Structure 1
C-alpha cells in the first residue's frame, strides 16, 4: 500500500483531484450513513443545494490529494493575509492557528512551515497516529519536516504546545474536531449544540498567544492552494463555554465563505470518545 501511495504522489495534482472528485461521489452514492449525515449537517447550517453540491466532490479531493502533499513535490501556494502572521510573530507571545474542516487543512501547516517555520518560528500540530502501521509511517514522515513539529494528543502533548507558545512559536488546531470526553464543552455550532474542544481557549488563556483563523482554499484545475489568514476580532471570554461559542461562531464565518469546500460529512455532532491517555 505504501508503494501505491508513492506512485500516486508523483501524479499531477489536477489528476488526483479528478480521481478524488469521482471518489467523493462514489462514497456519497454508496454510503447511506455518510450521505444522510452530509445532508443533515448541510441542512442544519441552512445551506441550499447550490451551496453544498460541489462539496461532495471536494470531500473526495481531500483524500486523493494526500499522497502528493505527504510524499510528492511541493505544490503552489498563494497567501491572503500573510501580514497577520508576521504581525503576530512580531508580538512574540506565540500564535494559535484555528482551522476548521474546510478546504485543504493539511496545506495550512505545511505552507506555514515552508514560509515561516525555518526563518522565524516553527509550528507544532497535534497528531494522533493512524492505526494502520504502513500509514502511520507515511504520516509521521510527512508531519516531521523542517519548521513543522508534532505533539501527541495526550497531556504531555498539551504541555508541549504550551511550551512552544511561551517561546513565541506557533501551534495549529482543528477546533471543530470533536475532542475526547472531558476535554470540551457543549456550544452552539450552526444552531445546534456540539461538543467543542476547549484546548484552544486554555492555550490562549495560559500564554496570551495571538489567535489567527486560517484555511487552505483548493484552487480549480489543480493549480494549487490559497492560504487565507484573518485575525479573531473578538476577545475570548474567560468562561470556557462562552469562549467555545465564540470559536464556533468564528469557524462558521469561515465556512459560509466557501461552503463548497467544507467537510459536511464529518460527524460534528457525535458523542465524544473516552478521555485520551494522559501519560
Structure 2
C-alpha cells in the first residue's frame, strides 16, 4: 500500500498544478468529513485563538483550512518529484534575499504554515551553503526514505532529528551552519514556557528561537510561505532587530506576536490541525 501511495504521488508530480490543487481540495473535503478528531482540534484552536469570529465564521474558516491542508499534502508530489525546473518555477521569492545569502551565522524562523515544506526547499535552493533542518523521523522506513528524498533534494539540506537532542545542532550553528527552525509547536512542559499566543494568555511555547540565536550569535530571518494559485510565495523578511534580547520570555512573546500578525493575513493556511494548546499551566484542565 505504501509503495502504491508513493507511486501515485510521483504520478501527480507530472500533472498541471491546477489539477493537483483540485485533487488536493478533494482530499481536504474528504478529511473534513472523515477526520472528526482533527476537525475537533481545529475548531478548538480557532475558538481559543480567534474568539472575535462567530461560530459560523470559524466553521467556514476550519473548512477552508482542510482544503488548504489537502492541497499542501498533494503539492509535495511536485515539490519532491517534479523536474527541478518545474518546482523552481512554482516558487516565487518575495523580499531581499541577501538576508538569507549574506555571510554570518543565520537562524531562519519558519512558522508552521501549510507550505512549510515548500519554504524549506526554497531556502535550500537559495542559501549557498549547507542548511540544518530539524525533522521528525517517519515510522515507516519506505515513507521515511521518500520524505528524505524530497526534503533533501536541494543537495545542501543537513537533517537532524528531534530525538537526537540539540548538541549537534548547536555545534553546527557555532561553526556557521544556518539553521531552519520551526519553534511554533507545543512540545510539552519540559521544553516550553508559557506566553501569550493570539487569544490565549498562557500558551506553552518553545523558546528555542531566542536560545539558538543567542548561542550561535546568529541573525534571525523570518521566512513565511504563502500558498498561491501559481504555487507558493516565499516571503523573506528583514532580520529581526535587537533580537535576541537579554529576556528569553520577552523574545518568545515577540516571536508569537509576529506569528499572530502573519496568521491573520492567511488564517486558513496556519497548521491548526496540531494540538497547539495541549499543554496547560498547572491546575488548568485540558482544552481538547
- TM-score class, shorter-chain normalisation, is 0.7 to 0.9
Cα RMSD after superposing both structures: 2.3
Q: Distance in 1 between matches of 2:110 and 2:141?
A: 27
**Number of aligned positions between the proteins:** 263
SS of 1:225 mapped into structure 2: strand
Q: CA deviation at 1:80?
A: 0.9
Deviations 1:225-262 (A, max 9, x none): 11001133453333333322221112111111211322
Deviations 1:3-47 (A, max 9, x none): 333323333332222111111122122333222221222232226
Quickly say closer, same or farther: Cα 1:234–1:16, change in 2 above 3 A.
farther
Q: CA deviation at 1:111?
A: 0.8
Query: How does 1:73-152 map onto structure 2 within 5 Å?
Result: 73-74=83-84, 75=87, 76-81=90-95, 83=96, 85-87=97-99, 89-90=101-102, 92-116=103-127, 120-145=128-153, 146-152=155-161
Query: How does 1:52-91 map onto structure 2 within 5 Å?
Result: 53-74=63-84, 75=87, 76-81=90-95, 83=96, 85-87=97-99, 89-90=101-102
Q: TM (normalized to structure 1)?
A: 0.85
Greater relative CO (CA pairs within 8 A, separation 6+): 1
Compare 135-144 and 43-52 and name the one that shifted more. 43-52
Quickly say closer, same or farther: Cα 1:88–1:168, change in 2 above 3 A.
farther
Q: CA deviation at 1:88?
A: 5.2
Q: CA deviation at 1:53?
A: 4.8
Query: Does the 8 Å contact 2:99/2:221 carry over to 1?
Result: no
Structure 1: runs of 5 or more not aligned: 273-279
Q: Distance in 1 between matches of 2:13 and 2:91?
A: 17
Query: Does the 8 Å contact 2:101/2:126 carry over to 1?
Result: no
Q: TM (normalized to structure 2)?
A: 0.82
2:205 equivalent to 1:196: yes
Query: How does 1:1-279 map onto structure 2 within 5 Å?
Result: 1-2=2-3, 3-46=7-50, 48=53, 49=57, 53-74=63-84, 75=87, 76-81=90-95, 83=96, 85-87=97-99, 89-90=101-102, 92-116=103-127, 120-145=128-153, 146-156=155-165, 158-192=166-200, 193-220=202-229, 223-231=230-238, 232-233=240-241, 235-271=243-279
Q: Distance in 1 between matches of 2:210 and 2:134?
A: 15
Structure 2: runs of 5 or more not aligned: 281-288
Quickly say closer, same or farther: Cα 1:65–1:242, change in 2 above 3 A.
same
